[in-house]
């Protein structure tokens, strides 16, 4: 369709302005959160699913706990297992991947089983230490115990990355914010917001 795709280019305010655009659609997504309320969150053995999927953190032959069993957490757990790690997925809810379409669960759960990924439900992360985490059962008993691990990978949701949108807002009248950059959600919601944004450009 004649679209130009530019790689290795940071879409900052100066770069966007150089195009003197009629309209700009911001689809900068979001980034994984690291809740400060969790003890030990700042240790160097803690990273996010973004770090793993982007390849900025590479793990091999490690005991890894993935905290959060949404689809991103499960897909990251599968990747880590493929890379030779022993993986445990920790989920606070009573079931794995709550709110996820059954078709997606039916697809990935057998693969995780084949890769010997351990799935732990009704368990809440309390604190992170150098070689283990403290976990609490999410029930009336509230029993605490430890899980030995080398690395903790957080999959606890995302926060919108809308910095560029805010930079450009005073300068570009036809500015649109879509997908996770606007509001964290699912693929269907992101593509719908993109469709509606394009339709509204006059």
Q: What would the pLDDT profile of 60-88 be if each residue is shown by its tens digit?
A: 999 999 999 999 999 999 999 999 999 99
Estimate to the nearest angstrom the gap between the alpha carbon of 43 and the chain centroid.
19
pLDDT for 197: 96
Report, as an integer, the average pLDDT of 38-67.
Answer: 96
| Residue 90: per-residue pLDDT | 97
The mean pLDDT value for 42-69 works out to 96
Tell me: pLDDT of 43 over 90: yes
**Dist CA 56 CA 13 (whole Å):** 25
pLDDT number for residue 114: 97
Q: Answer whether 149's CB lies under 8 Å from 133's CB.
A: yes
Integer Cα distance of 30 and 159 in angstroms: 5
The pLDDT score that the predictor gives to residue 138 is 87
Residue pLDDT, tens place only, 4-29: 999 999 999 999 999 999 999 999 99
pLDDT at 28: 95
45 touches 63 (CB < 8 A): no
Quick: pLDDT tens for 167-198: 999 999 999 999 999 999 888 999 999 999 99
Residue 98 has a pLDDT of: 87
| DSSP sequence for the chain | -------S----HHHHHTT--S-EEE---EEE---TTSBTTTSTTEEEHHHHHHTSS---S-EEEEE--SHHHHHHHHHHHHTT-EEEEE-SSSSSSTTS-HHHHHHHHHHHHHTT-EEE-SEEEEEE-SSEEEEEESSSS--EEEEE-SEEEE-S-EEE--HHHHHHTTT-SSEEE-GGGTS---HHHHHHHHHHHHHH--
pTM of the model: 0.83
pLDDT digits (tens, 9 = 90+) for 115-150: 999 999 999 999 999 999 999 998 888 999 999 999
Task: Give residue 101's pLDDT band: very low, low, confident or very high (50, 70, 90).
Answer: confident
Neighbours of 186 (CB within 10 A): 15
Rounded-to-integer distance, Cα 14 and Cα 112, Å: 45
In Å, the largest CA–CA distance within the chain is 62
Quick one: 93 exposed, middle or buried, by C-beta within 10 A (0-12, 13-18, 19+)? Answer: middle
């Amino acid at each position: 369709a004649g679209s130009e795709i530019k790689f290795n280019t940071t879409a900052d305010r100066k770069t966007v302005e150089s195009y003197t655009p009629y309209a700009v659609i911001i689809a900068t997504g979001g980034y994984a959160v690291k809740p400060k309320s969790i003890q030990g969150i700042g240790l160097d053995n803690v990273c996010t699913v973004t770090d793993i999927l982007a390849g900025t953190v590479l793990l091999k032959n490690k005991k890894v706990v993935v905290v959060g069993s949404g689809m991103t957490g499960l897909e990251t757990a599968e990747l880590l297992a493929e890379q030779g790690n022993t993986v445990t997925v920790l989920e606070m809810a009573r079931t794995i991947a709550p709110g996820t379409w059954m078709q997606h669960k039916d697809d990935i759960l057998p693969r995780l089983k084949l890769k010997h990924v351990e799935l732990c439900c009704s368990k809440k992360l309390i604190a992170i230490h150098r070689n283990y985490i403290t976990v609490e059962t999410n029930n009336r008993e509230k029993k605490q115990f430890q899980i030995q691990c080398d690395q903790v990978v957080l999959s606890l949701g995302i926060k919108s990355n809308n910095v560029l949108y805010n930079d450009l807002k005073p300068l570009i009248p036809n500015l649109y914010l879509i997908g996770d950059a606007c509001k964290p959600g699912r693929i269907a919601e992101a593509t719908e917001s993109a469709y509606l944004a394009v339709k509204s450009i006059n």
